[in-house]
Structure 1
Amino acid sequence: MSRTFDLLVIGDVNPDVVVGPVPPAIAFSQREQLVERGALVLGGSAAIMACGAARLGLRVAFAGRVGDDPAGAFVRGELTDHGVDTTRLTIDPHLPTPLTVVLNDKDGDRAILTSPGCLTATSAQDVPEALLADARHVHAASYFLMPRLAHSLAAVFARARSHGASTSLDTNDDPDGSWDRELLDPVLEFTDILLPNAAEARALTGESRLDVAAGALAEFVPLVVVKDGSEGALAHDGERVRRVPAVPVEPIDTVGAGDSFDAGFVAASLRGLDLRSSLALAAVCGSLSTRGHGGTAAQPTWHEALAHTDLENRT
């Protein structure tokens, strides 16, 4: 069956104010502190993933919620400029667009401060049935930031599957640290690919060894793909573990690297690459995205990503 979209992304979109490197201690009492860089960029894990997938050549639609305010207009324009369809992006008449401030330190770590705004109102009603029926794959991100959607995401994924779509989920961080498996496990029943990073995989399972954590999660989903920063990534299909290294780069900004990885893995899978090849291409996409400031500035094209792998002559 022909579909209008290769990918429907559900989740968060907001402006990111990225500053740094910040001093080791942030001074209050109205002290003025200077930092080397500051930028206003598109943020939100779902939005960055959507842009990365569009950059890789997929036809991408976005479902979520923004406020009726200048921040909402900014992110709608950024998504559109990156080739993402925002026709069904809900505009909330009462709550503001979320806003995130990212504080980078000189060692590459970062603190993330988010005002959730209309994320608290985002729900399954923001995901039209027509979009679920018109996409080959449905991806959701920032699960724990959207409590109303979290409670109904299992039903959304079930409907997507009923229309013949595959599904993937990147929970991202849980701000309150509870990692509620009673809430999450029903969603995993309808998830084809789970895409945590290493810290999230450990938090979801209580396992310190990454391969063991991935294996524990693979008891609930067909495929677990774990991002491990400079160590690369691994995949567990319930039977065996596959690992790939990261691509050596001099990172400028690691914001959104995991989301770019997700985009690469989904794009490669939808193009029919095998698991190891999809994993390798995803690692390339995550690494290359760190070459610029913000999450979307340095996302690679499909051919650029291929050029950094050994797959170019096999695809």
Structure 2
Amino acid sequence: MIDLLVVGDANPDVLISGAPETPPAGQAETLVDSGTLALGGSAAIVACGAARLGLSTALAATVGRDAAGDFVLDTLRTAGVDISACVRHESLPTALTVCLNRADGDRAILTAPGCLPAFDASQVPEVSARHVHAASYFLQPRLAAGLPGLLARFRRAGASTSLDTNDDPAGEWRLAPGLLAACDFLLPNEAEALALAGTLTGEPVSALPAALTALAGAGPVPVVKRGGEGAVARYEGADVSARGPRVTPVDTVGAGDGFDAGFLAGWLGKRDIAEALAWGCACGALSTRAAGGTAAQPTAAEVQAVAGG
């Protein structure tokens, strides 16, 4: 039995820093401060972070039969992630994301989905796992449609489950019936939590406590990431919070995914919810020390040094 099966997206990230907010057209060449090629995709970043923390981890994802797919699978394999559940699409390309990072920490994200919409829940093999985590729900409509049944199947086999929807490019935030009831944990950031709660209640939700109430009422433990403010969970009717170490971020791409990896490692290590939150916050903060989502992901010893446990 493995510790963690992650289901979702995997692609290269091209990270550009110092680009103008609107790059000029007319075939003008604009010089920027830096560019980095890194492993991207929320699921892939979570898988790498969990493996770095010592969890036996597998990823179920799809990539194309192209150089980008080779890069993704080689990087995952080198990180210690089991890629035997990854499939290669015969005709569609690997997804690709370009992040234009601004000096104020904000960024524009451009994604060509490639083969992501073709990934189907039926392609996820029967794997014996302690926990199953799904990511980038809105980028993978065929996976999304089958995800409630997939997670319910793993729960019946004894696994715990979690979901990080990530952003919804369509802005609709609609989840398949029964999905949240099949999740033990829901791991959005604060903006995503408010949007998801608004869809559940049928009216805008602007306050985090109200969002936590709505999300918890649908079944899972909501664990909401708040960037530099840490994270908060509604657990057994009470709000539990934690904050990470103070760092000067180099790049915040993948910090939320790093949090997910740390939180799940903390929880699977039989820590309580407060300790799991502390591990998540530490991993999210420490991952910002270098460009890209995986280059600075911490080891368990590094996390213990700042979060304890």
TM-score category of the 2 structures, normalised to the smaller one: over 0.9
1:18 aligns with 2:15: yes
Structure 1 residue 80, shift from structure 2 partner: 0.4
Give me the identity figure in percent.
55
Structure 1 residue 117, shift from structure 2 partner: 0.6
Cα displacement string for residues 31-70 of structure 1 (whole angstroms, at most 9, x for unaligned residues): 2111111011100000000000000000000101110111
Q: Give the aligned residue type for 2:259.
A: F
Partner of 1:96: 93
Partner of 2:26: 29
Matched residues in 2 for 1:24 and 1:118: separation? 29
Cα displacement string for residues 81-120 of structure 1 (whole angstroms, at most 9, x for unaligned residues): 1100001211111111000001100111111100001101
Q: Secondary structure at the match of 2:217?
A: coil
1:165 aligns with 2:159: yes
Q: Secondary structure at the match of 1:158?
A: helix
Matched residues in 1 for 2:303 and 2:244: separation? 13
Consecutive unaligned residues in structure 1, runs of 5 or more: none
Matched residues in 2 for 1:245 and 1:22: separation? 31
Match of 1:41 among 14, 38, 45: 38
Partner of 2:110: 113
1:273 aligns with 2:278: no
Match of 1:257 among 255, 258, 262: 255
Matched residues in 2 for 1:168 and 1:119: separation? 20
Aligned residues: 303
Between 1:274-283 and 1:234-243, the stretch displaced more is 234-243
Q: How is 1:115-154 mapped onto 2 (pairs within 5 angstroms)?
A: 115-129=112-126, 131=127, 134-154=128-148
Matched residues in 1 for 2:219 and 2:278: separation? 21
Partner of 2:202: none
Is the CA contact 1:192–1:222 (under 8 Å) kept in the aligned structure 2? Answer: yes
Cα displacement string for residues 13-43 of structure 1 (whole angstroms, at most 9, x for unaligned residues): 0000000122233212222111111011100
Is the CA contact 2:119–2:140 (under 8 Å) kept in the aligned structure 1? Answer: yes
Partner of 1:203: 195
Is the CA contact 1:20–1:103 (under 8 Å) kept in the aligned structure 2? Answer: yes
Match of 2:174 among 171, 176, 180: 180
Structure 1 residue 238, shift from structure 2 partner: 5.0
Partner of 1:235: 233
Matched residues in 1 for 2:101 and 2:84: separation? 33
Partner of 1:78: 75
Matched residues in 2 for 1:33 and 1:229: separation? 31
Matched residues in 2 for 1:219 and 1:275: separation? 18
Consecutive unaligned residues in structure 2, runs of 5 or more: 199-204
Is the CA contact 2:62–2:116 (under 8 Å) kept in the aligned structure 1? Answer: yes
Q: Secondary structure at the match of 2:39?
A: strand
Is the CA contact 1:12–1:47 (under 8 Å) kept in the aligned structure 2? Answer: yes
Q: How is 1:46-57 mapped onto 2 (pairs within 5 angstroms)?
A: 46-57=43-54
Q: Give the aligned residue type for 1:46.
A: A
Matched residues in 2 for 1:9 and 1:28: separation? 40
Q: Give the aligned residue type for 1:148.
A: R
Cα displacement string for residues 144-195 of structure 1 (whole angstroms, at most 9, x for unaligned residues): 00000000000100110111100000000001111114x2x42111100000
Structure 1 residue 244, shift from structure 2 partner: 1.3
Is the CA contact 1:14–1:44 (under 8 Å) kept in the aligned structure 2? Answer: yes
Structure 1 residue 125, shift from structure 2 partner: 1.9
Q: Secondary structure at the match of 1:186?
A: coil
Please, what is the CA RMSD of the aligned residues?
1.0
TM-score by length of structure 2 reads 0.96
Q: Secondary structure at the match of 2:72?
A: helix
Matched residues in 2 for 1:91 and 1:17: separation? 21
Q: Give the aligned residue type for 1:277.
A: E
Partner of 1:287: 285
Matched residues in 2 for 1:285 and 1:88: separation? 26
Partner of 2:246: 248
Q: Secondary structure at the match of 2:15?
A: strand
